[in-house]
């Protein structure tokens, strides 16, 4: 069993914030793959489903970002899971918008949701880092992540969420490279070639018929 956790803040006020991209990923997965209806449990919203023989629980903590670990820890203990059964999806300001990276263990890099999870289950869980870009100065970060994605980001954001949904079964199966490839196929699909095949070489021109007289040929030969 895997516990997939999307980080964010509850309520319509925060629904489209950059900080809530983890919630958005969970909603897309649940919708596309026929998961159960969301219900309140583990201090959050939970949905259940399967990818083949793998049972998966989706969780959106409702404790607000800074206390996300309370919800994750409760779910992990109830489901009798280890930290390496947990995959957390979160916004990442150190990655450009649209970039996705996988990470296992390590620090929380100042992300308050990860900081809280570290405090409850330790650092040895998997993360899906969803790039949202950096405002340019650390003092601007809180306001930046708590603002909605601009309309200009709608296209790549939708492509990324679709890619996450496309590849999620691979991630659950431990095939991170295939998961990332599924996202890339949505966000940066291979371009169809516009190069025309090389034209066949033109045949050499036909030699012009020699209309000289025998005498003229003889004269030209000794010039």
Return the closest-CA partner of residue 143 out of 93, 97, 95, 190. Answer: 93
The residues near 66 (Cβ < 8 Å, ≥ 6 apart) are: 112, 113, 115, 116
126 close to 146: Cβ distance less than 8 angstroms: no
Is beta strand 39-41 parallel, antiparallel or unpaired with respect to 44-51?
A: antiparallel
Cα 103 to chain centroid distance, Å, stands at 13
Question: CA 191 to CA 177: how far, in whole Å?
Answer: 21
pLDDT value at residue 201: 58
List residues with catalytic annotation.
19
> In angstroms, how far is the first alpha carbon of the chain from the final one?
96
121 close to 82: Cβ distance less than 8 angstroms: no
pTM for the whole thing?
0.84
For the chain, the helix, strand and coil percentages under 3-state DSSP, each to the nearest 5: 45, 20, 40
**pLDDT 10s digits, 102-135:** 999 999 988 999 999 999 999 999 999 999 999 9
Backbone angles phi, psi at 188, to 5 degrees: -145, 65
- Give CA separation, 167 vs 83, 92, 135, 173, 183, in Å: 22, 20, 29, 10, 7
pLDDT value at residue 190: 77
pLDDT value at residue 189: 82
Helices (H) then strands (E): counts for the chain:
7, 7
pLDDT value at residue 25: 98
Low-confidence ranges of the chain (pLDDT < 70): 192-223
pLDDT value at residue 179: 98
Tell me the domains of the chain and their CATH numbers: 2-187 (3.40.50.1470)
The two structure tokens encoding residue 101: 């990276």
CA angle 85, 124, 186 (to 5 degrees): 65
């Amino acid at each position: 069993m895997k516990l997939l956790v999307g980080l964010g803040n509850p309520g319509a006020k925060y629904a489209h914030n950059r900080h809530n991209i983890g919630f958005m990923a969970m909603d897309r997965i649940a919708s596309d793959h026929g998961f159960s209806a969301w219900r309140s449990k583990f201090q959050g919203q939970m949905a259940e489903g399967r990818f083949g023989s793998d049972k998966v629980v989706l969780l959106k903590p409702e404790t607000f970002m800074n206390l996300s670990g309370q919800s994750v820890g409760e779910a992990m203990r109830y489901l009798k899971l280890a930290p390496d059964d947990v995959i957390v999806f979160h916004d990442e300001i150190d990655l450009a918008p649209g970039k996705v990276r996988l990470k296992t263990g390590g620090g929380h890099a100042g992300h308050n949701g990860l900081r809280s999870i570290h405090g409850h289950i330790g650092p040895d869980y998997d993360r899906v880092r969803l790039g949202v870009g950096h405002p340019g100065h650390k003092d601007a970060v809180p306001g930046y992540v708590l603002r909605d994605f601009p309309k200009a980001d709608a296209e790549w954001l939708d492509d990324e969420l679709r890619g996450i949904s496309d590849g999620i079964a691979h991630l659950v199966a431990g095939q991170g490279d295939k998961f990332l490839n599924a996202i890339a196929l949505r966000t940066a699909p291979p371009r169809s070639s516009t190069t025309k095949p090389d034209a066949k070489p033109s045949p050499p021109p036909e030699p012009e018929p020699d209309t000289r007289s025998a005498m003229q040929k003889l004269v030209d030969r000794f010039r």
